[in-house]
Structure 1
């Protein structure tokens, strides 16, 4: 692709021009007389700017567009290789630590809190994508990437050193803010450096390491459990993650500085005082709205997983007060954004687009369902089906390998046909509902694990289709300037959906599992029920075939049936969410500038 800043002939380096002042006008005149093309300062665009930068784009977007105009095809290829390596390490770490989570909570005798540990983390990590989008748009993509890497590594270090479920949950917040932010930033990098026609395939390529890591995570988790322990797993990945992330950050920084040296970008200081900067960025990031939304969601959703630990259950003062405070904060958020906020936290004008809103609702629905049926899946496979950690990881990661493999096919289909709505409507949604619905029957004791594998394959292929289609739908309905914000909104719906799903799963588990344990457990083991409920290790200590183990498996089956019924019911909302999309043709859609894939 032709570089718009590269001109024919033997001209000297272009002259950097700052428009809007007397010196800028003289520089323009001198540049024209000398035969040098003037270069637009990103902070002061002119009318001809539209050919070089997106109209009304913020500095971070323009910096990225300028970067893609000065880098070579080799650097573009290197960037995608580095993103693939980072995703590989993230996938390896996610798969390994996902298997270890029940052992972490069980080591503190709090296995029932397995779903709870991720509720706040998912909500906060998802909601913070919108201010992160502001960081990417205002300061730049590399700066946002560095920030998310810092939080991810900090979270891993805290998990390695945690001394209880509370500390582990706090570490999860830092980790998921970093992990969600990093995957989101890589998605923005991919969107910045690929045409809309190829973007589905490039998204799939960056996610393709999951096809490989599925075979590695189980043995790796087993090696840590049987060797140095789960703490060393988190500690090792904190170092590895930092090492693999630095080269990508350095590549983008190098090309940004190259754009500055060539005169394409002219950095201009704001000259604001510290207090003025605090006030300015408080408005830009809508700090009050952010606090109200996160606080409201956390307070409202936590009681669903905590009520069973309180005297009086749903009538306990703590649960009632949390629900009231959460509801009031959410109402306050709505009123503040509508009547008070100088800059709204959520760009409601984008949400008014039916394609964007439909894609966001779809992502939320899918994750509500996912977290309902998946929260205690790892424990179920080990206790009910009697599989070891390595075998469990293979089944859990069927979704990762299947969805990533099939998303490559979906990306090619979108590139070939230029359409995406029909894939989501006629394959993604119905097959997902079929796979989750079949789990109601097959996720029970004495059912061959092969049927569960079959359901996982259905969900994996259809899930890979839905994820690619929903992202392309949201991106096709906007321009380059709003890519970061639209993906952030989609990510926020995903995180809120995950938080709701996790809360429902925890509520079902704490409401059904212990009660059924007491119902089915032999009289001689009744006193052991609290210890059994609290620890996966204790559950596994009862040999297969004993009456106590059969009672545990029966209780698992009852809880899982309710979870899968709820997960299936919520999926019916997928169809109207997809039907409202516009059938946008992306084959000849031009959205980004510079040297892109």
Structure 2
């Protein structure tokens, strides 16, 4: 018996309750990793100290939190056009989300280090505070500028809460069960995807959008803080059991600053965060520059961003005393392949989906309500398939075959077939069929992708790996939106000029720019048929590019090692 075991046994006999004595003598391999950072040690000690009952309660809390957070995401998206319209600046609707989306993606890198260095509960509470501050500012804003600033706080906090939930699931589930548990937690979106619209409409027709944000200002802390209390209570239990290493540093303020800069890999974090932010911003801001991509500002941001990301790799390889992510992990083919797949997934999705809602209404004649049902089916089917593939991984231990032989081919089939069925005279049922194929593939790919990157890393790097995967998603999405907009702006005006009846040519710019004007022409009329032909030509190019993007995804999956997750032990204590 080790000295640690002896100390724990003696402690349990005196000042530890009966419920704690059951974990008072954990096996040596269940003790926290002495080489891990403090936050990782603390969560490992917590999972050793708590019981399966507490773990079950925690997962119920996670589901409720995810329910509220995903509903809030949908409501915010629905209300933003009305907020900008309230200040007579509806044209700035996309602009207010640009900076917040980029910052929200990049800050998860910083949050990953907060979770690892200070602890999961501390980082989680920090995100809750930011989210609530953002909601208060959104409810009280008196201009678009104030709303845009509030969106930054809200997005960083809200995204951070959901990111921390993903890390918590990774902390409290075995690699074999991780995909299934992540899918079950995400299943809340099966309900919330249908609620955001009615909730938004109810407040807009009633007390107003400010009261909606005010309601979430109360609701978010009410549903999120109990999980913080649960984690802290069990962390204190782990301390009483002696599972948490003593950390009496006796450092001065300056020494503490230098110590945490070293623990955070502050230089590496600054390089990668600034690099990714400067790389992503031009994809969103180039339209605001008179010279577009030829603008000196856009070019300089791209160049500096790429240089900083290369500098980050060099720093991690040669100079970092404590690496943000080990250089060997950066070059691991499974990790790199997972990142490529994540970028390809979001690149393809944003290419075909950017104008999909408008396409359903203009070319297929669907109402806004029916078009939204088709779009929401992507979420519903994707979540159901994620649960199924999570269970399959639990049973077989294999994740690569599902992605390689089902996910990738089904994605290519779904997007490719949509090219054939995009024409206005084809039955809408074929488009729905293609959409279902893509949704099934998405549910499979998302779960397998996260399992792949986590299977290649130790528990110490779980938070960082999930954050890096999110960064590649943002990069793929930013490129996809940019390419989609460029294709649309190039094809639609030219094709309208070629197809519109001569009497409608004077209205070309209005028809191109206004969805309501496009829908005002009856189905079957010469002008509507001309608009539908233009849409078909644009969708051909968008769908072709989206199909080609899956070549990158297939390469990413082929790079994975065929790992069997059964028997791989990353987590400690009572986990699923």
Question: Under a length normalisation based on structure 1, what TM-score does the superposition of the two structures give?
Answer: 0.82
Of residues 11, 14, 19, the one that matches 2:13 is 11
Q: What is aligned with 1:426? A: 405
Report the CA distance shift for 1:539/1:430 in structure 2 as closer, same or farther (over 3 A). Answer: same
Tell me how far 1:556 sits from its aligned partner.
Answer: 4.2
Tell me how far 1:393 sits from its aligned partner.
Answer: 3.0
The answer as to whether partners of 1:304 and 1:504 remain within 8 angstroms in 2 is no
Question: Under a length normalisation based on structure 2, what TM-score does the superposition of the two structures give?
Answer: 0.85
Paired residue secondary structure (2:59):
helix
**Deviates further, 133-142 or 147-156:** 147-156
Q: What is aligned with 2:440? A: 461
Paired residue secondary structure (2:572):
coil
Deviation string for 1:280-329 (max 9, x for gaps)? 33343344444443444444444444445544444344444444444444
Q: What is aligned with 2:472? A: 493
Paired residue secondary structure (1:183):
helix
Q: What is aligned with 2:571? A: 592
**Deviates further, 570-579 or 74-83:** 570-579
The answer as to whether partners of 2:8 and 2:25 remain within 8 angstroms in 1 is no
CA distance in 1, matches of 2:499, 2:324: 50
Name the count of aligned residue pairs.
Answer: 566
Of residues 430, 449, 452, the one that matches 2:431 is 452
CA distance in 2, matches of 1:386, 1:372: 21
Task: Map 1:133-152; keep pairs closer than 5 Å.
Answer: 133-152=112-131
The answer as to whether partners of 1:358 and 1:580 remain within 8 angstroms in 2 is yes
Task: Map 1:78-97; keep pairs closer than 5 Å.
Answer: 78-97=57-76
Tell me how far 1:496 sits from its aligned partner.
Answer: 2.3
Of residues 567, 577, 590, the one that matches 2:556 is 577
Of residues 388, 392, 396, the one that matches 1:413 is 392
Deviation string for 1:140-181 (max 9, x for gaps)? 111111122233334444555567766655544433323332
Report the CA distance shift for 1:415/1:330 in structure 2 as closer, same or farther (over 3 A). Answer: closer
Tell me how far 1:84 sits from its aligned partner.
Answer: 0.7
Report the CA distance shift for 1:204/1:11 in structure 2 as closer, same or farther (over 3 A). Answer: same
CA distance in 2, matches of 1:376, 1:269: 57
Tell me how far 1:105 sits from its aligned partner.
Answer: 6.6
**Deviates further, 101-110 or 237-246:** 101-110
CA distance in 1, matches of 2:515, 2:87: 11
Q: What is aligned with 1:367? A: 346
The answer as to whether partners of 1:362 and 1:577 remain within 8 angstroms in 2 is yes
The answer as to whether partners of 2:316 and 2:327 remain within 8 angstroms in 1 is no
Deviation string for 1:529-551 (max 9, x for gaps)? 66666665666566666666666
Of residues 452, 457, 461, the one that matches 1:473 is 452
Tell me how far 1:417 sits from its aligned partner.
Answer: 1.3
Paired residue secondary structure (1:56):
coil
Task: Map 1:528-543; keep pairs closer than 5 Å.
Answer: none
Q: What is aligned with 2:337? A: 358
Paired residue secondary structure (1:216):
helix
Matching of residue 204 in structure 1 with residue 202 in structure 2: no
CA distance in 2, matches of 1:377, 1:80: 35
CA distance in 1, matches of 2:172, 2:411: 31
Matching of residue 561 in structure 1 with residue 536 in structure 2: no
CA distance in 2, matches of 1:547, 1:233: 44
Tell me how far 1:215 sits from its aligned partner.
Answer: 3.2
Q: What is aligned with 2:218? A: 239
Tell me how far 1:507 sits from its aligned partner.
Answer: 3.2
Tell me how far 1:438 sits from its aligned partner.
Answer: 2.5
**Deviates further, 154-163 or 562-571:** 154-163
CA distance in 2, matches of 1:130, 1:304: 20
Task: Map 1:178-577; keep pairs closer than 5 Å.
Answer: 178-228=157-207, 230=209, 232-265=211-244, 268-338=247-317, 341-513=320-492, 553-577=532-556
Tell me how far 1:582 sits from its aligned partner.
Answer: 1.7
Report the CA distance shift for 1:400/1:362 in structure 2 as closer, same or farther (over 3 A). Answer: same
Unaligned runs of 5+ in 1: 16-36, 41-47
Report the CA distance shift for 1:108/1:367 in structure 2 as closer, same or farther (over 3 A). Answer: farther
CA distance in 2, matches of 1:528, 1:292: 49
The answer as to whether partners of 2:31 and 2:243 remain within 8 angstroms in 1 is no
Report the CA distance shift for 1:237/1:519 in structure 2 as closer, same or farther (over 3 A). Answer: farther
The answer as to whether partners of 1:190 and 1:203 remain within 8 angstroms in 2 is yes
Report the CA distance shift for 1:78/1:124 in structure 2 as closer, same or farther (over 3 A). Answer: same
Tell me how far 1:476 sits from its aligned partner.
Answer: 1.9
Tell me how far 1:559 sits from its aligned partner.
Answer: 3.6
CA distance in 2, matches of 1:223, 1:303: 37
**Deviates further, 489-498 or 76-85:** 489-498
**Deviates further, 303-312 or 238-247:** 303-312
Q: What is aligned with 1:18? A: none
**Deviates further, 493-502 or 396-405:** 493-502
CA distance in 1, matches of 2:329, 2:31: 24
Report the CA distance shift for 1:180/1:273 in structure 2 as closer, same or farther (over 3 A). Answer: same
Report the CA distance shift for 1:506/1:402 in structure 2 as closer, same or farther (over 3 A). Answer: same
Tell me how far 1:520 sits from its aligned partner.
Answer: 5.5
The answer as to whether partners of 1:419 and 1:585 remain within 8 angstroms in 2 is yes
Tell me how far 1:14 sits from its aligned partner.
Answer: 7.0
The answer as to whether partners of 2:40 and 2:116 remain within 8 angstroms in 1 is yes
CA distance in 1, matches of 2:34, 2:328: 17
Report the CA distance shift for 1:167/1:319 in structure 2 as closer, same or farther (over 3 A). Answer: farther
CA distance in 1, matches of 2:141, 2:514: 18
Tell me how far 1:133 sits from its aligned partner.
Answer: 1.5
CA distance in 2, matches of 1:524, 1:78: 67
Q: What is aligned with 1:130? A: 109
Report the CA distance shift for 1:507/1:267 in structure 2 as closer, same or farther (over 3 A). Answer: farther
